[in-house]
């Protein structure tokens, strides 16, 4: 795995983790009881975004180490995911 693919893998893991972490302990304007006129009642009032970004980064580093280790070790390869057998005949012998 090259540096570019490692960076892309980490970015994908980080954003997917962020999307899972953001709704945790989110308080909306309706939950707090003061809805600003002209805004949606489900708009966030208390979001703790800085803490959630640090939590996301920590979880992402652990997941990246595990997934990157599996990729680098060769324990799972692209050929293992060839469920329909399309890679066997990608370059037929002439």
Q: pLDDT for 1-30, tens place per residue? A: 788 999 999 999 999 999 999 888 888 888
In this model, does residue 94 exceed pLDDT 80?
no
In this model, does residue 79 exceed pLDDT 70?
yes
Q: pLDDT for 27-65, tens place per residue? A: 888 888 888 888 888 888 878 889 999 999 999 999 999
Task: Output the DSSP codes for the chain.
Answer: --HHHHHHHHHHHHHHHHHHHTTTT-EEHHHHT-PPTTS-TTSEEE--HHHHHHHHHHHHHHHHHHHHHHHHHTSS-TGGG-TT--STTSS---
């Amino acid at each position: 795995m090259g540096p570019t693919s490692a960076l892309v893998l980490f970015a994908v893991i980080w954003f997917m983790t962020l999307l899972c972490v953001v709704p945790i302990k989110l308080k909306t304007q309706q939950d707090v009881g003061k809805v600003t006129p002209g805004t949606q009642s489900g708009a966030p009032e208390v979001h703790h975004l800085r803490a959630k970004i640090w939590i996301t980064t920590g979880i992402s580093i652990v997941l990246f180490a595990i997934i990157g280790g599996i990729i680098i070790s060769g324990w799972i390869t692209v050929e293992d995911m060839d469920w329909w057998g399309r890679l066997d005949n990608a370059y037929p012998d002439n």
